[in-house]
Amino acid sequence: MHFKKLFLLLLLFYPVISHSDENIGKSKVFVEKLGKQVVEKVSNTEITEQERHNNFKTLYLSSFDNYYISRFVLGRYWKTIDKGIQKQFVDSFNNYIVATYAPKFKGWEGTFKAVESLFENNYYNVKMDILNKDGPTLKMMWKMYINKNKEFKILDVNIDGVSMLVTQRAEFLSVIKNHPNGVKGLIDAMNKKTAGS
């Protein structure tokens, strides 16, 4: 009887294990494809700045879990603001990310090589080497999951041991703490930077 229960338990978990193993390979392909798209659609020096901006925004919004990231970087302040301000923050934050990072890729040459993917606690952690044409190799880790539509969504990017989310949250919390208008002041600051980019 004990053996029968164990066998049934294994049958229940087998599809999940198989599904996870199958997606480990897909997770590596996903980030490598994203890297290739960045090189082709964002780094390209033959496109206009507006095209670079639009292409990066499309890639960012389709590949990252923007809502989760927005909540995380705002930390404890997320629950202190109403839904209207939350929406303003998400929109401003997305524009801020695009305006900040899109120009940085202009003319960048290199390759993205996924080295390993680990499935832990329902998340895929993909280790990647960023091979710069004229510079040192960067070590990157992508943290992501598969949503209800069976699409990979990125939650965090870790570069050489530094979490981009944790870094961004520390920066934002400092602005909120020192600004008389708190979260609204942070939104205004992001909007000004976006408008001036």
* Residues 62-80: tens digit of each pLDDT: 999 999 999 999 999 999 9
Read off the pLDDT of each residue in 120-142 and give the average, rounded to a whole number.
Answer: 90
The residue among 103, 52, 94, 62 whose CA lies nearest residue 191 is 94
Question: Do 124 and 28 form a contact (C-beta atoms < 8 A)?
Answer: no
Quick one: pLDDT at residue 20?
57
Quick one: pLDDT at residue 8?
41
Label residue 22 by pLDDT band (50, 70, 90).
confident
Helix, strand, or coil (residue 110)? strand
**Predicted model pTM:** 0.85
pLDDT at residue 11 is higher than 70:
no
User: Rounded to an integer, what distance in angstroms lies between the CA atom of residue 39 and that of residue 37?
Assistant: 5
Label residue 10 by pLDDT band (50, 70, 90).
very low
Read off the pLDDT of each residue in 15-28 and give the average, rounded to a whole number.
Answer: 71
Q: What are the structural domains of the chain?
A: 2-195 (3.10.450.710)
pLDDT tens column, 72-122: 999 999 999 999 999 999 999 999 999 999 999 999 988 899 999 999 989
Quick one: pLDDT at residue 110?
86
Query: What is the H or E stretch that residue 86 is in?
Result: helix 83-101
Label residue 197 by pLDDT band (50, 70, 90).
low
Helix, strand, or coil (residue 103)? helix
> What 8-state DSSP symbol labels residue 161?
T
